[in-house]
Amino acid sequence: MQSIDPSSTEKNKLSRWELKERPFQSSVPVIGGLIVEFRNTWNSVAAKWYIRPLIAQQNQYNRLLVEQIEHFYSQLVDDARENSEISHDIAGCCRFWSI
C-alpha cells in the first residue's frame, strides 16, 4: 500500500484552487528569449497593477469556497454516521419486539 505524505496532499489541495501568475514562455528559436523579456516588461508596465489584485481577490473567494465545501462535507459525514447509528438502534429495537 502506498503511503500518502500529508504535506504533499495539502499542497495538491492548494494547487487546485489557488490562481497563480504564469510566466511567459516562447518556443520561437533564437529570439524567443527576447520575446519573453519584452512580454515580461510590457506586463509589468501594463497589467500587473490590475491583475495582481484580481488574483488575490479570486484566491480569497476560492479559499472561502473550499472551506465551505469542506465544512458541508464534514457535516454530511457526521450526519451519515448518526443515521447509521439510529438505523442500528431501530433494527435492535425491532428484533427485541418481534415474536
Least trusted range by pLDDT, from 3-7, 42-46, 74-78: 3-7
**Stated pTM of the model:** 0.59
Per-residue 3-state assignment (H helix, E strand, C coil) for the chain: CCCCCHHHHHHHHHHHHCCCCCCCCCCCCCCHHHHHHHHHHHHHHHCHHHHHHHHHHHHHHHHHHHHHHHHHHHHHHHHHHHHHHHHHHHHHHHHHHCC
What is the chain's mean pLDDT, rounded? 82
| 8-40 per-position pLDDT tens digit | 666 666 677 888 887 778 888 889 888 888 888
pLDDT at 55 over 80: yes
Higher pLDDT among residues 74 and 8, named by residue: 74
Per domain, the residue ranges of the chain are 25-97
